[in-house]
Structure 1
């Protein structure tokens, strides 16, 4: 049987997790996987643990303010503290299956799985942020950055796996800009981390 305290914590966690991501409002913070926990430290006092998608994420302040507002207005909490936790680090594997589905429906290719990557250092290529014109890697153009997995990026418009990287960065630092070689539509790809 669930205690009243456990039921209350579950309700607080659900409410904090239901807050939309400020950069990708199609996703809730729970679907993004950044709400790590909620604790009621005293009557009317709640602490929410939040992990940013990357250190220095500009949306972190907006997330915290939106969580505070939601818990005050909808759960009646008078004192809300949102604490940033960096360990364990957030990974794109923390995005829920529902979140991945919503990204694709919104026209953003979801990140590929990184669970099978070897542990340890990750190679970092500090090449140009924009690739040359034409097909990446073709003669006379810049080679694409090293992919973290052999799994192809699917076009969210037509489903094709024939896609090309146009730029390592898109509207936000966590997304790359790609183009479908089949339907020719450009699209964002939520990069793996």
Structure 2
């Protein structure tokens, strides 16, 4: 049986994101914390936005992994304050997204939702060219937009900056 908070963190941190399985919840900065009080473990998740349809699956996956690791009293809670921002994505997470052909957001944003156009220069995750264009603000999931590279002509998803 696992008994330390560090181990509980490690278990929860290894849970893959249900929509972006190449990265973990920790890589995305969605895992906001893990607390242990005796036999009770509470994991906190901050979804990418409050209406994220994957939040129930994230919570279920974290719960199942912690129970499988031997924790018997598990609670998974939402933490909406502070809100998630793309600045929470780790460097390792950005690398994994790019390796999977998804353009990660630029680091160092304000942490505020940008309602106007976002940065125009987005590097193609296939060839590296910045001669790219946004085709649709709405991609395969709510947190992604559809882009295309003019150089290699390949379409790609891009994580929206929030």
TM-score, normalized by the shorter chain, greater than 0.5: yes
Contact kept in structure 2, 1:17 and 1:29, CA below 8 Å: yes
1:19 deviates by 0.3
Deviation readout 1:37-77 (Å, 9 max, x if unpaired): 11113x32111111010011111110111111101112x11
TM-score (norm 2): 0.93
Indicate the residue corresponding to 1:173 in structure 2.
142
Q: Structure 1 length as normaliser, TM-score?
A: 0.78
Q: Could you list the runs of 4 or more consecutive aligned residues of structure 1 that deviate by over 2 angstroms after TM superposition?
A: 121-125
Structure 2 distance, partners of 1:122, 1:189, is: 16
SS of the equivalent of 2:4 reads helix
Given that residues 22 and 63 in structure 1 are in contact (C-alpha distance below 8 angstroms), is that contact kept between their aligned partners in structure 2? yes
In structure 2, the residue matched to 1:108 is 102
User: Are the structure 2 counterparts of residues 122 and 23 from structure 1 closer, same or farther at C-alpha, using a change threshold of 3 Å?
Assistant: closer
Query: For the Cα contact (< 8 Å) 1:175–1:188, is it kept in 2?
Result: yes
Structure 1 vs Structure 2 CA RMSD: 1.7
Are 1:63 and 2:58 matched, yes or no?
yes
Q: 1:122: how far off?
A: 5.5
Report if aligned partners of 1:15, 1:70 keep a CA contact under 8 Å in 2.
yes
Q: Deviations over 1:77-99 (max 9, x none)?
A: 11110010101111101000000
Task: Number of aligned residue pairs: give it.
Answer: 160
Aligned to 2:26: 30
Q: Which of 9, 14, 17 is the aligned partner of 1:13?
A: 9
Q: What is the alpha-carbon distance in structure 1 between the residues aligned to residue 15 and residue 51 of structure 2? A: 20
- Matches of 2:52 and 2:105, distance apart in 1: 18
Q: Is 1:45 the equivalent of 2:36?
A: no
**Would you say the 8 A contact 1:9–1:38 is kept in 2?**
yes
What stretches of structure 1 of length at least 5 have no aligned partner? 1-6, 126-145
Conserved 8 A contact 1:49-1:83: yes
- 1:89-135 CA-partner distances (Å, limit 9, x unpaired): 111010000000000000000011243x4x8x75635xxxxxxxxxx
> In the alignment, does 2:132 pair up with 1:163?
yes
Using the alignment, how far apart are the partners of 1:190 and 1:122 within structure 2? 13
